[in-house]
Amino acid sequence: MNKKRVLIVSFYYPPISSIASNRIYSFVKYLNKDIFDIDVVTVKSKEAIDYKIFDNVSIYRISKNPLDYYLDSSSKNIFIRKLKALYNILIKNIFFKLWQVKSIKVILKLNKQKNYDIILSSYAPKESHLIALKIKSKYTNIKWIADMRDEMSLNPFISAKEKKSLQIIEQNIFKHCDAITTVSKPILDDFKKLSNNTKNILFREIRNGYDFDINYKSIKNEKFIISYVGSFYGKIKADNFFKALYQFMNKYKVNDIEVRVVGNNNALIIPKELNKYVKKIGLVSHEKALEYMQISDALLLVHPDIGRKGVYTGKLFEYLAMQKIIIATIQKDSVAAELIKKANAGFIANYSNIDEIVEILYKSYSLWKNNKKLDFNLEIIKKHHRKEQVNRLEQLIKEIM
């Protein structure tokens, strides 16, 4: 049987450390090697070889990665903030565009040799889809899967100008792609509505997931250790949780507790009353982050009420696989809340409701104090291994070929 030739276009790919990279790497890792030969076109990164081939996969790294020198615009110094903001604008408007132009040239050459059957492009940035759009318009026989990790024009955080630009790109995608994949059903449903059924596009939910074997370790620390693994940024803040934690500790006379914030590289304001109870641990490798999850008694999930019910957050799947109590301060009608309930994996409070957060802290602490464990639904959790999700992608490819 002749193998199908798959081209994956994604700005994010290892060694870049991100949920986006992990998603695309799982596609490469778990697509059947006996059926598919895979080429990945991505960006050059530090400590990565420009061209690499192994097993059935070839990696092409094009144009220097500006994110290797990414600047955070959260500094309090106005001059530095403006300088950093300008640099970040240059990344969006120049560097991504340069990567797009160079990538198209490379892919056109490669296709003459390889005759790709499928192109899969992953958003964001939009340039990944623009690359695929150019290739598809030239080679209409290639099947195109547009992978959406997030909303495009419906993203609540973008400007009106950017929204209008993305609406045009979306309509071009709908006209030319064969399938659209995304991370949750609400986001998928939004894309279905936006497409207006302009053509027979196949839509599939392919969630993110965890990528390790479930190996539960029963641990009870001397203190009740709650870990938050990741960054606080934008509207995702720890303020309400800290207020609730302080109230909980006072109300129930609790002092055998420790909160660990692992991997946060942004400003974090800790109330002085909680200073000795909160431990900040800087950026760590993904492997080390998983270790911190494993040696915790509970794991904190934070997501504000901003109308994005289709957001799981990537860390949730790894939290589930750890089988630790999840203390979730999120939207109660979100997909994340629904999954936590189905997996019987923790307790949920509204992000803005301090009293509810106090209550779930009490429930979580009581389980730990009394040496009790939640009866996790392992059947649900196992469905969210990366391999299981990529099986859905493989089935989709068979349907469009």
Q: How many domains does the chain have?
A: 2
Q: What is the pLDDT of residue 233?
A: 76
Residue 71 pLDDT exceeds 80 = no
One domain for residues 346 and 391: no
Q: Does 217 fall in a domain?
A: no
At 278-330, the pLDDT tens digits run 999 988 888 899 999 999 999 999 988 766 676 777 789 999 999 999 999 99
| 320 and 393 share one domain | no
User: Is the alpha carbon torsion for 166, 167, 171, 172 positive or negative?
Assistant: negative
- What is the tens place of the pLDDT at every residue in 200-238? 899 999 999 999 988 767 778 999 999 999 888 777 888
Buried residues in 264-301 as b, exposed as e (16+ CB within 10 A): beeebebeeeeeebbeeeeeeebeebbebbbebbbbbb
Are residues 378 and 396 located together in one domain of the fold? Answer: no
Percent over 90 (pLDDT), the chain: 68
Q: Is residue 396 domain-shared with residue 378, that is, in the same domain? A: no
Residue 218 lies in a domain: no
- pLDDT at 262 > cutoff 70: yes
pLDDT at residue 136 tops 70: yes
Q: Assess whether 123 and 241 both reside in one domain.
A: no
pLDDT confidence of 197, banded at 50, 70, 90? Answer: low
For 66, the domain range is 4-208+386-400
Q: Which pLDDT band holds residue 179 (cuts at 50, 70, 90)?
A: very high
Same domain, 161 and 276: no
Question: pLDDT value at position 254?
Answer: 93
In-domain check, residue 215: no
- Residue 28 shares a structural domain with residue 155: yes
What's the pLDDT score for residue 95?
Answer: 85
> Whole-prediction pTM value?
0.86
Report the half-sphere exposure of 151 (CA within 13 A, side-chain side): 21
Share of the chain above pLDDT 70, in %: 89
CATH at 394: 3.40.50.2000
Residue 372 is assigned to a structural domain of this protein: yes
In this prediction, residue 264 has a pLDDT band, given cuts at 50, 70 and 90, of confident
Domain assignment present for residue 213? The answer is: no
pLDDT at position 103 is 96
The arithmetic mean of pLDDT across residues 381-388, rounded, is 95
Same domain, 178 and 71: yes
257 and 378 together in one domain: yes
What is the pLDDT, as a whole number, of residue 319? 95
Question: Could you tell me if 201 and 269 lie in one domain?
Answer: no
The confidence score (pLDDT) of residue 370 equals: 94
